Structure 1
């Protein structure tokens, strides 16, 4: 099997939790190391790899794939440099800070014949995979409305300064927002209009930390919400159709597993506990159905496997650059809608 030499641009939480374990586990990748500015930690977990002192040192290697998992405000600069160095790239969310930056990267990758994928791993959450199955089997009838939440209870400011200082990449709209927006676009396509409210609710916060947006389609509305002040969680996914409803709590276990050091596998990985199953209440062939829907297995491995095939077999990236551009278009529309207090036509 061809090996794709891969390097990270950071070994903080995202590198340690979301990327390195899967790159190390997948037989088609070779983890070369990571750019580490101050703390030198990657060799504690992967002794055979290299801790690079600078971005230039990473780009000078024979790495074929670079994972841009640095703060959002740096994505455009680092991703552009990696593409100009002839590297395929995976860029964390938010893809960039503006639509214009996203379009530049998408065009540059295409011109150079390089692969560019946006790391929207939440498409492979057990939650969303189950929601997708319910939509595809048509058991709810035509969808009238949907509501997705990414809520937490955490009124304290993050110790990570890049998340709490006023900069072009900070705020919940560009942190949790891309997950919600990407999932909505993945399931329902691009909307006709956006109506949004973006606020700051935590004491002493300098960045937005509460969002409520509606994606308006010809026959339905999709509402997306994220907040740090939800102590008693409501269903993270709510679908209502002409025949019935499906409610699903957030239950994907992968991030929790990875944070405790568990290593991914292809068998039991991403299997939710039974108490997180979603509830369906609908009518099928004249019969009322009210019960639980088994949750599908999630696995972020599928993203990396898709990226491997994209590079080796020239297939489409698991989350193409155009999908990242579209998410940024919604984000910019949400900012404009909140500022001008009006619906933004797309």
Structure 2
């Protein structure tokens, strides 16, 4: 693998770029935050003085030396921007949700294969510490054969943010595309493609300024017999919020609280330098609990949460590009296309009164 750093160009400098992408790119030993597209300000250069500012996407795509383009703009623009970047010969990472339709997702995945560029989607929640812990528990067989997996990603926001694009009723908006992308991706990582999708997608707040879906329940069924219940609401004020419930023939794993990495990034901590050791570490009082028969012993107690590792997403992208071995990419465009297809089927199921739809 080459030892050089890849030059990264980021399109957009809103919350997603500022909190999730740029701090991780700047923390990676394999990446250089080279250019950011900002329409009106130079905020990125204030935070990252060595970074260049471009006013248009075209300027970034024409700039010499850009290896990887990261798209952090509103959801409806992902397809057009990603296609332009691929056609310019760039490797591309797209903020989730990948695209608005699965047809768009498949078109981009096929185009990236044709042009032999890396195309991935920012499904960082695969590196949540609690999700890594769930994977370990399943792999170790600690709850026996899994029969049900319940996953929540809830918020409490009983108002509409003024002028926020996420609150506008446009293609790709709403909780199903936003937090639903994470929940669905995690379920597919654990259990593969579902056999059926059943869902109820609603606007529960019924407040002026927004008509987006702000609540959903999705039930996925798999050929293994596993049932997944995926739940998200903007009106979940209970504390602590339920995150996971994993049920098996031998017992249950129960987890509350959200992974700490988002809050750490918002507070200015990064997975590099003096804060690296503490980044992604969850305090003991937030660990999940296991109640199960393990090797003939009834075990009841806390399970230490794995350290979260968001930086691994970008390190994997960089190593895949530098090695020239595209099959090493962990989060692929084709996987992301399956996520968008589940979203489409969830919407269809809800529109048909909660009817189960074959995948």
The verdict on a shared fold, with TM-score over 0.5 as the criterion, is: yes
Which residue of 2 is the match for residue 42 of structure 1?
Answer: 44
Q: Which residue does 2:303 correspond to in 1? A: 293
Contact 1:251 1:272 in 2 (8 A): no
Distance (whole Å) between structure 1 residues aligned to residue 293 and residue 163 of structure 2: 48
1:276 & 1:188 partners in 2: Cα distance? Answer: 26
Give yes or no for contact 2:218–2:231 (8 Å, CA) kept in 1: yes
1:214 aligns with 2:219: yes
Contact 1:279 1:291 survives alignment (8 Å): yes
Distance 1:302 1:194, change over 3 A: same
Residue 273 (structure 1) aligned to one of 283, 290, 295:
283
Task: Indicate the residue corresponding to 1:5 in structure 2.
Answer: 7
Shift of 1:239: 0.5
Conserved 8 A contact 2:69-2:93: yes
**1:330 matched to which residue of 2?**
342
User: What is the TM-score with the length of structure 2 in the denominator?
Assistant: 0.94
Aligned length: 346
SS class of match (2:153): strand
Quote the offset at 1:285 in angstroms: 2.5
1:113 aligns with 2:120: no
Deviation, 1:160, is 4.8
- 260, 268, 276: which one aligns with 1:261: 268
1:244 is aligned to: 251
SS in structure 2 at match of 1:75: helix
1:223 aligns with 2:229: yes
Are residues 139 and 160 of structure 1, via their aligned partners in 2, closer, same or farther at CA, if it must alter by over 3 Å? farther
The Cα shift of 1:26 comes to 1.2
C-alpha separation in 2, matches of 1:278 and 1:114: 40
Query: Does the 8 Å CA contact 1:125/1:298 hold for their aligned counterparts?
Result: yes
What's the CA shift for 1:73? Answer: 0.3
Equivalent of 2:71 in 54, 58, 68 = 68
1:157-178: CA deviation from partner (whole Å, max 9, x where unpaired): 1345311111001100001000
Conservation of the 8 A alpha-carbon contact between 1:17 and 1:258:
yes
Report the equivalent of 1:183: 186
After TM superposition, give the deviation of residue 91 of structure 1 in Å: 0.5
TM-superposed deviation, 1:256: 0.7
CA RMSD, aligned part only?
A: 1.1
TM norm structure 1: 0.98
Q: 1:339 matched to which residue of 2?
A: 351
1:318 is the counterpart of 2:321? no
1:84-95 counterparts in 2 under 5 A? 84-95=87-98
* Contact 1:148-1:223 at 8 Å conserved across structures: yes
Secondary structure in structure 2 of the residue aligned to 1:16:
helix
| Moved beyond 2 Å, runs of 4+ | 158-161, 265-268
- 1:197-208 matches, within 5 Å, as 197-202=200-205, 203-204=207-208, 205-208=210-213
Report the equivalent of 1:31.
Answer: 33
Offset from partner CA, 1:115-154 (integer Å, 9 cap, x none): 0011000000111011111111001011111100001111
Partners of 2:259 and 2:291 in 1: CA distance:
22
- How big is the shift at 1:156? 1.3
Separation (CA, whole Å) in 2 of partners of 1:18 and 1:259: 9
Structure 2 unmatched runs, 5+: none
Deviations 1:75-113 (A, max 9, x none): 000000000100000001000000000001000000000
